[in-house]
Structure 1
Amino acid sequence: MTLTPEHAAHFASIALGHVRREYPNKPDHTLAGDTDARTPRQLHPVFFGSYDWHSCVHGYWMLARLVRRFPAMPPADAIRALFDAQLVAEKVAVECDYLAAPTARGFKRPYGWAWLLKLAHELSLLEEPRWARALAPLAEIFAQRFRDFLPRATYPVRVGTHFNTAFGLRMAADYAKGTADAGLLALLRDTALHWYGTDADCPAWGEPSGDDFLSSALIEAACMRRLLPATEFQPWFDRFLPRIAEREPATLFEPASVSDRTDGKIAHLDGLNLSRAWCWRSIAAGLAPGDARRAIMAEAADRHLAAGLPHIAGDYMGEHWLASFAVLALDEP
């Protein structure tokens, strides 16, 4: 399965319906006084929709990716109009000012940081440069936050939710490579090796947890595949998950069951199925062409995609974010 024009138009229509939908909203906002009590649109004039800030950011990323891949699709003009209205210097400046407050030091670390950089990279690939230029000051703030934070981060975070550090490194790597920021890229790689370089024989015994949308095992492998040259990645992977040929650990091959899609946490498990598909495809692409494990991984990816794709829309608890992960799975090995 690959990303089709039909997928793109469907996913884009979903995102266009929520990136400027202000409510319901779950702000990640610390109040230092009465004057800090403001609406989502006042706090974040660009990314106020999609239930929460980080989902809005990756909704914009998905729209940028889709309009680049299918510039003539029916929703393309609406995407460009959205970017013209929202990705402008005045609104981005308010987003930047928000981050200057001491209470915002840890805002969206590392998930939102990584997605904002991922968006900045995707915008830089579009023919129209003004949107990337407008977002650049905000991207640089988050790039600097990675530079400041990673040397202090003694330990990784291995959960299957927003705090996962391997996901953060993986997504920030695209920005670092795209901007030819050799210093940031080296920091990301060195941090990954420090955190994960000696990991071996991963049991994946804790997967899936009840509100995971990431596989802590597979996103770590996808992170290392992105940051290491192939000659270093394959031996690392052979140690990390040595029994893939036997389809072990078995839990990584079985799509998650979702019992209640109106529950925001349980609905995360649809995202787990999609993100696992993305990771399986990414890891397989890092192995030698003749490696028999590639076919096993492709089969696992297809099973997870089949479990996740039918549930992109329906209830807002999933609808405000799942399509982005479907695009990762279908279009980003």
Structure 2
Amino acid sequence: MTTTLTPDLAAQFARIALGHVTREYPHKLDHVLNGPEDARTPSQLHPIFHGSFDWHSCVHGYWMLLTLRRLYPDAPFAEEVVALADRMLTEDKVGAELAYLDREYSGGFERPYGWAWLLALHGEAARHQDRDWGANLEPLAREFAARFKLFLPKQGYPIRTGTHYNTAFALVLAHGWAMEHDADLTGLIAERAGFYYGMDKDCQAWEPGGDEFLSSAMIEALIMRIVLGKPDFAGWYSGFLPRIDIGDPPSLFTPAAPSDRSDGKIAHLDGCNLARAWCWRGIADALPEDLQGIADDLAERHIAASLPHVQGDYMGEHWLASFAVLALTAGAAEDQGR
């Protein structure tokens, strides 16, 4: 039986996010002080994205809320999401978030994880054509798209660690946005993904690290599934993970086991399980038939390991539900991030 998003889970996730996207403290800033005048509170610096412990988690908290509103427009929580988004995703507040990016030393702000999630948020907001959210967020999305276009050609090597700096994850979300909004960025992402990963062979999948919330092996496979399409991906994948049929590498078959979910870094491992499930589901249709069942089973095992822990301690609660939604709504790879 395939575990999917249900109305009850959607309501649970919405309640979680509604409780934290405007919760200002505790907060971990990505902020360079150029002088004493820059010592300001999170909400003064970021009038929209000051909740959820950090900027990027707040961004994908809003992405999840808008996604759930689209999927369940008649749910009781949907009206609360609309009221919140109408209050927060305004032209003036987006303008203040955009102005923050003009500060000196802001070039590396939230690169690339937050960039990619902001594009995903705008892509989702644009689907809600009865509201102004997409139009209001578009200038901010265009700025981050421009930063991708400037940065990717000079990034000589992919970052493979399974944390916020991972290149493949950012490319997946950015590609989903670009397919609808920026043909030039779509082409650039395909070119860079091929450059970074096209020659990779016999992945050992030495993962996860102790604080990783992404599977470096599987997120690479997902971006290649997206940019190559089914026929070419099959050939690439047969060289990248050639022994999946015999359970090798074993690390990809074994869900991560967080030892302390109150530790923010160790709690990342629940995200790794959900992200692996998302990736397995995203590539399954392009695998040989004998491997598709393996992929489906692995997704289920990883979801089962961490779905019960989305709520509990704030160190996981402020972000994990977004990754659960990715896993539980995963479908065709071409739709990832959209």
TM-score tier, shorter chain, comes to: over 0.9
CA distance in 1, matches of 2:241, 2:30: 36
Query: What residue number does 1:276 align with?
Result: 276
Structure 1 partner of 2:14: 12
Residue 245 of structure 1 is matched in structure 2 by 245
Stretch moving more, 186-195 or 222-231: 222-231
Runs of 4+ aligned residues of structure 1 deviating over 3 Å after TM superposition are: none
Q: How does 1:213-224 map to 2 (within 5 A)?
A: 213-224=213-224
**Is 2:59–2:117's contact at 8 Å kept on the other side of the alignment?**
yes
Task: Give the distance between the partners of 2:286 and 2:27, measured in 1 at CA.
Answer: 39
Q: How does 1:130-141 map to 2 (within 5 A)?
A: 130-141=132-143
- What is the Cα deviation at residue 129 of structure 1? 4.0
SS of alignment partner, residue 76 of structure 2? coil
- Paired position in structure 2 for 1:260: 260
| SS in structure 2 at match of 1:104 | coil
> What is the SS of the residue equivalent to 1:199?
coil
Q: Look up the match of 2:212.
A: 212
State the match for 1:83 in structure 2: 85
**Correspondences of 1:1-333 after superposition (within 5 Å):** 1-179=3-181, 181-205=182-206, 207-287=207-287, 291-333=289-331
1:19-41 deviation line (CA, Å, top 9, x unaligned):
00000000010111001111000
Which secondary structure state, in structure 1, belongs to the residue aligned with residue 105 of structure 2?
A: helix
**Superposition CA RMSD, Å:** 0.8
Are residues 256 and 296 of structure 1, via their aligned partners in 2, closer, same or farther at CA, if it must alter by over 3 Å?
Answer: same
Distance in 2 (alpha carbons) for counterparts of 1:285 and 1:44: 41
Q: Secondary structure at the match of 1:91?
A: helix
Tell me, in whole angstroms, the C-alpha distance in 2 between the residues paired with 1:286 and 1:22.
43
Work out the CA distance in 2 between the residues paired with 1:326 and 1:136: 26
Q: Report how many aligned residue pairs link the two structures.
A: 329
| TM-score, structure 2 as length reference | 0.96
d(CA) in 2 for partners of 1:75, 1:173? 30
Distance 2:168 2:251 in 1: 20
Q: Percent identity?
A: 57
Once residues 248 and 268 of structure 2 are traced to their aligned partners in structure 1, the CA distance between those partners, rounded to angstroms, is 23
- SS state at 1:329 partner: helix
Q: CA deviation at 1:248?
A: 1.1
Query: Which SS does the other structure have where 2:53 is aligned?
Result: coil
Once the two structures are TM-superposed, the CA of residue 127 in structure 1 deviates from its matched residue by: 3.1
> What CA deviation, in whole Å up to 9, does each residue of 1:91-140 have, x standing for no partner?
00000000011211100000000000011111111232410000000000
Structure 2: which 5+ runs fail to align?
A: 332-338
Instruction: Provide the secondary structure at the position in 1 that maps to 2:304.
Output: helix
CA deviation profile, 1:176-202 (whole Å, cap 9, x unmatched)? 0121x2211000000000000000110
CA contact (8 A) 1:170 1:227 kept: no
8 Å CA contact 2:159, 2:166 repeated in 1: yes
Aligned residues of 1:204 and 1:252 also touching (Cα < 8 A): yes
Letter in structure 2 aligned against 1:296: I
Partner SS, residue 102 of structure 1:
coil
Residue pair 2:34, 2:104 contacting (<8 A) in 1 also: no
- Read off the aligned partner of 1:55 and give its amino acid letter: S
The one-character-per-residue Cα deviations of 1:230-254 (angstroms, maximum 9, x if unpaired) are 2211111111111111121110010
